[in-house]
Amino acid sequence: MSGPTFHGDGVMDSKPIDVGRQSYEDARDMVALGHTEELTRKFSPWSMFALCFSILGTWGTFAQDLSSGLTNGGAITILWGLVLVFICNLCVALSLGELCSAMPTALGQAFWMHSLWHTPTGRFASYICAWVNVFGWWTLNASLVAFATNFLLGIKLMYDPEWAGAGTGWVEFLVYFGIASLFTGFNLVACRNDKILPWFNNIVGIQFGALFIIFSLVLLICVGTKQGLEFQPPSFTFGAWINETGWPSGVVWFTGLVQAAYGLTAFDSVCILPPNTQTPTNVSPSRSST
Amino acid sequence: MIEELPNPKVNAPRAIYLSVVIGAVTGFIFMVVCLFCIQDVDTVINTPTGLPFMQLVQDAVGIKGTVVLMVLFTMNSLGQGISITTTGSRLTWSFARDNGLPFSKYIKRVNKKWKVPPQALLVQGFLITLVGLLYLFANTVLEAILSVATIALTVSYAMPILTLLIVGRDKLPAGGQFGLGRYGAVINWISVIYCAVTTVIFFFPGGPNPSGADMNYAIAVFGVMLVVAIGFWFIQGRKQYLRVDDSEQVVLEAIHLEDSYTEVPGPSHGGGGKSLK
């Protein structure tokens, strides 16, 4: 980035003096970033919500993960487990929201830990939290690539159930690699114009909502009108208990919650994005007022 | 966002809880629809495509309609993936900016022309591709790595909330505009307990006494992550992570002062301005 201010003098500078200089330069970097990051400042409340809603991707995740719910308890865990998970996850969301509102600063969760627990142990815990969070987002990213891979190959399999290609590792890897490259490549070029990313998020959010309506209506209309298809009775939809796991029922009630939990995590995207959307001056008010 | 979002300290929390509420409501309705429309549970669970949802739709809609719907669905997933890549890369970048990652100085660079942290994006893309290589020889490990995502995120939510409870809720910095008031402690405790319980359940295998291939290796992957994190703490984190904090503060406050004299518009500056007057 900014040439002259960027750590010109060697990588591993010796300690005491350079710490100060480095901090100064880092701070300047942050200021510079405050300007370069103007892209994300174009996020309106609506596009922030669209981003968070589509990253959560609740109904889509439930759809992708249907087998887990169906074998681990069936309708009872899918629906009533979801109610329980929703209440608990809402508490988590509110707690994070409170922290985010008090400290809308870089690094989200890890930074909050550091600010709250200002001791050497706290710094270590914050570091571990940062790694766990980063690993979480990397693996979430990888799992979305894998989901898309499975679905693309699944579409092919629908037409050609005998096709052996879907099971071969290198075909899967090639598709996976293509999708991962698409994600990275799009992001590399998308910020050139400040409007692209928020608009893209708006479109994905709207599309995700529209698909929810389309899927629901198409399913209901098809089953309602087609010959030979019947709706399940409400006793199945709201009360069926299916356990194909071998665990006792008490355990299955809990393992069945996993599906609901999958669909309702990753709402910290907003906590992570604001740091980039705000100039570093936002650090000051909370500290200077103490 | 400062310029375009009337008040980020209100709107960020609102975006979080609204997306959870609307996500859960739409998810509930959609699952009710699916459960009504499912034709034969056994066919759906044991589908040849390996994707029960696809089978469910195919049974109801027929193959042509399903392909159209699934292409739309997959396109939408690609869009979501791009958003997740954006968020992930910004997190990677901000962790590097705080000198937490190896090669932080390299990763934290931002390309001014393209307005992105290209190195953070590429490093992340490279690591994700490495995970994909497991398709070639170790599907079980691949699945474990993918399932760790939710576990890691859940743990990262619980950590700051538990910290808040331990240090005391009164230590929460002033200035937030989304307080939980007197219900705060209860809500925090429910969150922590929920995260603890689900984290344990996430590590459960699909059935009791699993064979080697059916074991849920997420716990091992999570262990490796912790070892990596602790290892890097001793290699570099202990010396460098967040070390710039205090003196950076001086610079930031100086800049902040400048800004408040030149009256740069924006709510956050307004907040600082008040404390200066």
Give one DSSP letter per residue of chain A, joined into a string.
--TTTS--S-SS--HHHHHHHHHHHHHHHHHHHHHHTHHHHT--HHHHHHHHHHHH-HHHHHHHTHHHHHHBTTHIIIIIIHHHHHHHHHHHHHHHHHHHHH---TTHHHHHHHHH--SHHHHHHHHHHHHHHHHHHHHHHHHHHHHHHHHHHHHHHHH-TT-SGGGSHHHHHHHHHHHHHHHHHHHHHHTTSTTHHHHHHHHHHHHHHHHHHHHHHHHHHHHHHSTT--PPPHHHHHH---B-SSS-HHHHHHHTHHHHHHHT--TTHHHHHHHHHS-GGGHHHHHHT-
What is residue A168's predicted lDDT score, i.e. its pLDDT?
82
Structure tokens at B20: 């959870």
More confident residue, B54 or A162: B54
Q: What pLDDT score was predicted for residue B193? A: 96
Closest by CA position to B134, among listed B143, B125, B126, B122? B143
Within 10 angstroms of residue B111's Cβ, the number of other Cβ atoms is 16
Report the distance separating Cα A100 and Cα A271, nearest Å.
6
* ipTM of predicted assembly, 2 dp: 0.85
Neighboring chain A residues of B139 at a CB cutoff of 8 Å: 169
Q: What residues of A are in contact with residue B238 (Cβ under 8 Å)?
A: 124
Nearest by CB to A36, which of B80, B110, B174?
A: B110
User: Which of the pair, B8 or A143, is modelled with greater confidence?
Assistant: A143
Give A9→chain B minimum CA distance, Å: 12
Averaged pLDDT in 10-residue chunks for chain B of 277 residues: 50 88 94 92 83 90 90 92 90 87 85 84 95 87 88 94 93 83 92 94 86 85 94 89 62 56 43 34
Is A144–B88 a contact, with Cβ atoms under 8 angstroms apart? no
CA distance A50 to A45: 9
Q: Do B179 and A98 touch (CB under 8 A)?
A: yes
Give the N- to C-terminal CA distance of chain B in Å, as an integer.
25
A85-109 core/surface letters (b: 16 or more CB in 10 A; e: else): bbebbbbbbbbbbbbbbbbbbbbbb
Q: Of A260-264, A282-286, B200-204, which gets the smallest average pLDDT? A: A282-286
Q: Report pLDDT for B274.
A: 34
Which span out of A55-64, A82-91, B264-273 was modeled with the highest average pLDDT?
A: A82-91
Chain A residue whose CA is closest to B36: A232
Neighbours of B6 (CB within 10 A): 11
> Bigger pLDDT: B18 or A6?
B18
Q: Which residues in chain B (120-159) have CB-CB distances under 8 A to chain A? A: 121-122, 124-125, 127-129, 131-133, 135-137, 139, 142, 145-157, 159
HEC letters along chain B: CCCCCCCHHHHHHHHHHHHHHHHHHHHHHHHHHHHHHCCCHHHHHCCCCCCHHHHHHHHHHCHHHHHHHHHHHHHHHHHHHHHHHHHHHHHHHHHHHCCCCCCHHHHCCCECCCCECHHHHHHHHHHHHHHHHHHHCCHHHHHHHHHHHHHHHHHHHHHHHHHHHHHCHHHCCCCCCCCCHHHHHHHHHHHHHHHHHHHHHHCCCCCCCCCCCCCCCHHHHHHHHHHHHHHHHHHHHHHHCCCCHHHHHHHHHHHHHHHHHHCCCCHHHHHHHHHHC
Tell me whether A168 touches chain B (CB under 8 Å): no
Contacts of residue B239, defined as CB under 8 A and 6 or more positions apart, other chains included, come to none
- The answer to whether residue A17 neighbours chain B at the CB level (below 8 Å) is no
Quick check: B128 and A141 CB within 8 A? yes
Q: Is A96 on the interface with B (CB under 8 A)?
A: yes
- Is A253 near chain B, with CB under 8 Å? no
- Above 90 in pLDDT, residue A207? yes
Q: Given CB atoms, is A106 within the 8 Å cutoff of chain B?
A: yes
- What are the chain A neighbours of B32 within 8 Å (beta carbons)? 79, 237-238
Within 205-224 of A, beta carbons closer than 8 Å to B belong to 207-209, 211-212, 214-216, 218-220, 222-223
pLDDT mean over A234-249 = 88
- Report CB contact under 8 Å: A187, B82: yes
Per-residue pLDDT for A217 more than 90?
A: yes
Which chain A residues touch B232 with a CB distance below 8 Å? 131
pLDDT at A169 over 60: yes
Residue, of A278 and A229, whose pLDDT is higher = A229
What token pair was written down for B125? 């893309």
Tally Cβ neighbours within 10 Å of residue A246: 13
Range A129-149 average pLDDT: 93
Lowest mean pLDDT among A24-38, A43-57, B76-90: A24-38
Q: B113-125 in b/e burial notation, b at 16+ Cβ within 10 A?
A: ebbbbbbbbebbb
* Of A17-26, A200-209, A226-235, minimum mean pLDDT range: A17-26
Average pLDDT, chain A: 78
Those residues with Cβ within 8 angstroms of residue B269's Cβ, 6 or more apart along the chain or in another chain: A281, B256, B259, B260
Measured between beta carbons, which residues in chain A are less than 8 angstroms from residue B194?
88-89, 91-92
pLDDT in tens, A172-204: 999 999 999 999 999 998 877 777 888 888 899
